[in-house]
Structure 1
């Protein structure tokens, strides 16, 4: 356990830990927050002092029932000294009934405080704009929750420094207040999400607000000096499929560049390698001239259905070799380089595809789907979705991205978690000259965060988690390339850690192209780097490639099928979606 830093005390009953106790502990571990359990008997036996002696401050997290049991011995209107010594107390699981209702009235000082069930759906939750340090990018949002997204609401009269953090018509879903010298935060959630739970699709706060949003807000605020966090939110708009020609469907590259200059954003085209010969000189020149705003990455190989959902390592290696050869040919022909990031066609991938990308020099993948196409191989958890990137498959990072229709609240929650802001789209995102996109970008710009627009390759290399500690910062590396600047006036030391389950495939680790020493411990690659003032450290993991894999040599019928698919797709996108073309390509 870390000493010399804040600590969380998990107050629980004397019985074995409940599922909610375990779920809360997992969330604390996820954020790197040190914690220790405190039973009701230990609290009443004055053990708090010994548990917190080596920590400058502590906060308490508890269910309402456990706190009620602890306070039974206290005189009315008073709290024990150890509770008053806490920096704050987070209370959740206010079950309907007299014990929890009595506790709510005791800690608020409101004799009419009550617990109310939520029956009407949907409900609109208002997040305060008066507590940006806690709410971050979710400040001032109005979120329409679907049935089951919240359990109950707390009815508390104004007074006692009451601060509503998230409120619904039925009452407060999350609120802060002070009473008798103790600062409380009351969360109406009855349960905590189990971040070990398998996830087949993206996390949606409109469906799972309770047990997720309040606890994340609280932990990121209460333990802001010690939990894993992000120094900035990297952002990129990713448009799938277009060849590099002046117009594709609703997308006109001249109009895109004008909008990017006006609203200051960056775009990466997920480019199908098959199209490498089908480019326009002026369009390519615009990309080269505006390389900080426009770039291309790799979008499959032929863009056939499920081509990277294959389980054969040999087949995947051949596909990737072909894709790389085509992208190299694009460079040779046009002098336009690409970013070594994969966007899977149709979002379909297999666990083996992640390992194949690592062997073939890709630094990361970015995807809308969060689980492999074959459900039986899905190991993605909610913790993976909350992380900067999914590293479940071969230790290779798959960054998640969202469509605009996922809602601003989900982009904001991702930002609160420390994830990058990657927007997915196709040509039709520019319908109406991109008016809906422009409005969404204005919403993003209005959020309380440090949003940094970059092309996709640069964005993934600068997306990492950081934890400050004395003179050395701890860094969690995700993509196979990490880029960190030192903007300070003195040398900065960082300790880099990267999950690496396939250490045998690791060839070298380099810093600014020089091979450096590293160690491997507890499943993680570790190294220490000193960055001089005003300099940048470019850290790369280089892996052994598959020696006997060669580019694909497909049959004539296959090549004709791919060509037909691509031309029909372009016909559909360029000339509308009449009944003739309403099929999936």
Structure 2
């Protein structure tokens, strides 16, 4: 090797190191800008360490992406520190522990209020030890004291007041997991925000002073809520933190993490494009969707890829705003994506690949597009299967539970209160509600308040009462949140992100999907600072409107900066490289067992479900399938025994009737009878 070659290699290595250095610097700048852009809240509390109030405010602030500036009270220094924070434009609220109020002089409190007029202020952790005179002073006489309620012996609930602070939560009832509360004695025209109700009593626990932006929250000791994948656990979790969650939502507004819009979807499982499908006439269902303003997605089983009727397919092509298709398993056999012990990972991988290949053929035959969103049959898959969905560039998976069958439920507020999670292979997993059961209005109110997409599903038997069976649910959602946009699952996943406004007018984005549509609704150009959790170690690319775009990935964090002109929209996609050749995958229906199951399922949905007894059997089998299987096995065993007994008796009777008597005489002339077979007799 020549000295010139060595020099070139040395220069190249220095160039690589320099490029890596620039990348690290750029990453640090992006991460710093994301952190520095967060809005702040000022928390003034006692210096005696952690307490429940401080912890609850901190958890709620983190949920909204707000940074807490925790100032411990020190005589002579706190006022000057608070004054410095109050000058910061990123400050959106102040929280003061009730225990600190005696240490604040009248002069200091007036200075706090006047420095930022209108800045929301929460006095938190009020209990029966808080001096009534201080409550009267800070509330301008509208709150006179804090009292302890009698011990309740019957379950209670929180009732949320109607108003601009509570928005979609107005009138909601939330579970009260306590038998005793501290409550405010309102002596003036203070506005109750939350009240605890036991029997006929209404006890204010969060209130707003009249004509002031000062809020008062009573002390709420922490309670232990078990961590489970049950989506309805959301109500208990929200109720336990309702005061700081509602206050900070109001105080921070667009500076807090929030969804870009309100979205909803209704999915009809198992159907294929034939008219009718069980109780469902597609033209009639479309008419209901148009009249009541909802969108219907068919969870389509890929096994049916070439069975669509042309007239029904034409209906979907003509009305993509109301009708759409997503993927429902592959063959939809029982527990198709169940435990690996009975459904090996390799088989699940082949099914996921084949499902895509079949849906591409469906698209080719019908000219109807589909969303690569997977709804697993019967139950959600194990966690490792999520990585296969991601590798194949599925958009998301949507199921009644958003936790894989073999995974533990993640702790934390983000999982408990959001519809979607990236906790498993950084792949979007969303929860949905069965429209065939009663859904708590308060559950939907929390979703609307937090901007969660509301996803519903049902099967064809749901429409036994009439084609308008879903109308009441759709009407409730549209009344709860009039701006709700009913879209396809694919469209909803592409709007699955959180955004917050920065001090400089730019936008922070926390992507919850690998494919997002961003729109700059401001009247000025803006830069979007995008971050996404990304666990994949395999090769990937980022495109914007189909063209490669630079990004940085360090550890499990992917970031990029995207300028968007005023009023413009951009599509950002993360694509994962794989070696799949969809066109080469066998899509034939070669399994006799699978074919029999699918045809029997069609018979169930289109024939058996047409009677009341048939629908009862379908519901009972869905709920108690194992018991029915045992019963069927027992009946089959009894039937085999009876058949065997019948065959035995028939043969015995046949044998008895197959001989004929013959009169014979012996040598001495005595007569005797001899039974001979007919053939021998005729010989």
TM-score with structure 1 setting the length: 0.86
Q: Does 1:458 align with 2:458?
A: no
| Cα deviation code 1:60-98 (max 9, x no counterpart) | 335xxx422x22345799946446757233244445x44
Residue matched to 1:54: 88
Q: CA deviation at 1:162?
A: 0.7
Distance 2:37 2:512 in 1: 28
Q: What 5-or-longer segments of structure 1 have no aligned partner?
A: none
Residues 500 and 524, structure 1, Cα contact 8 Å, conserved in 2:
yes
SS of the residue corresponding to residue 295 of structure 1 reads: strand
Deviations 1:267-321 (A, max 9, x none): 1111111222332222221111111110010011122333234455433321101
Alignment of 1:291 onto 2:291? no
In proportion to residue count, which structure has more helix? 2
5 Å-filtered alignment, 1:59-78, equals: 59-62=93-96, 66-68=97-99, 70-73=100-103
2:271 is aligned with 1:242: yes
In 2 relative to 1, CA 226–341 (structure 1 residues): closer, same or farther, beyond 3 Å? same
Q: 1:386 to 1:522 in 2, by over 3 A?
A: farther
Deviation string 1:471-509 (CA, Å, 9 cap, x unpaired) is 42122222221112345555443222211111x324211
1:14-66 Cα shifts (integer Å, max 9, x gaps)? 2222355334323312211121112233687433224444346452335xxx4
Are residues 194 and 77 of structure 1, via their aligned partners in 2, closer, same or farther at CA, if it must alter by over 3 Å?
A: farther
Structure 2 match to 1:162: 190
**C-alpha displacement of 1:390:** 0.5
Partner of 1:256: 285
Give matches, 1:336-415, under 5 Å: 336-374=368-406, 376-379=407-410, 381-387=412-418, 389-404=420-435, 405-415=438-448
Instruction: Report the CA distance shift for 1:100/1:320 in structure 2 as closer, same or farther (over 3 A).
Output: farther
**Residue aligning to 1:422:** 455
- Paired residues for 1:192-231 under 5 Å: 198-204=227-233, 206-231=235-260
Q: Is the 8 A contact 1:4 1:55 kept in 2?
A: no
CA contact (8 A) 1:92 1:190 kept: no
Equivalent of residue 559 in structure 1, options 589, 594, 601:
594
User: What are the within-5 Å matches in structure 2 for residues 492-503 of structure 1?
Assistant: 492-502=526-536
Query: What secondary structure sits across from 1:283 in the alignment?
Result: helix
CA distance in 2, matches of 1:43, 1:281: 80
Residues 112 and 458 (structure 1 numbering): CA distance in 2 closer, same or farther, change over 3 Å? closer
The answer to whether 1:185 aligns with 2:215 is yes
* Distance change (3 Å), C-alpha of 1:261 and 1:308: same
RMSD of aligned C-alpha atoms?
3.4
- Corresponding residue of 2:48: 15
Aligned residues: 571
Rg (Cα) greater in structure: 2
Measured after TM superposition, the shift of residue 391 of structure 1 is: 0.4
1:41 is paired with a residue whose SS is coil
Gaps of 5+ in 2: 1-31, 626-683
SS at match of 1:345: coil
What secondary structure, in the 3-state scheme, does the structure 2 residue paired with 1:346 have?
coil
> Does 1:441 find its partner at 2:479?
no
* Pair 1:583 & 2:611 matched: no
Q: Give, in whole Å, the separation in 2 of the partners of 1:43 and 1:455.
A: 59
Is 2:511–2:532's contact at 8 Å kept on the other side of the alignment?
Answer: yes
- Cα distance, 1:189–1:270 mapped onto 2, change above 3 Å: farther
Whether the 8 Å CA contact 2:301–2:330 is kept in 1: the answer is yes
CA contact (8 A) 2:337 2:348 kept: yes
Task: Map 1:75-154 to 2 at 5 A.
Answer: 79=109, 81-82=111-112, 87-95=119-127, 97-99=128-130, 107-108=138-139, 109=141, 110-111=143-144, 113-117=146-150, 119=152, 121-123=154-156, 125-129=158-162, 131-132=163-164, 134-139=165-170, 141-143=171-173, 145-146=174-175, 148=177, 152=181, 154=183
Per-residue Cα deviation, 1:363-405 (whole angstroms, up to 9, x for no partner): 111222132222x544364422323521000111112222342
After the TM superposition, which of the residue ranges 338-347 and 545-554 deviates more from structure 2?
Answer: 545-554
Relative distance call for 1:564 and 1:421 in structure 2 (3 A) is same
Higher relative contact order (CA 8 A, sep 6+): 1
Contact 2:397–2:430 (Cα < 8 Å) also in 1: yes
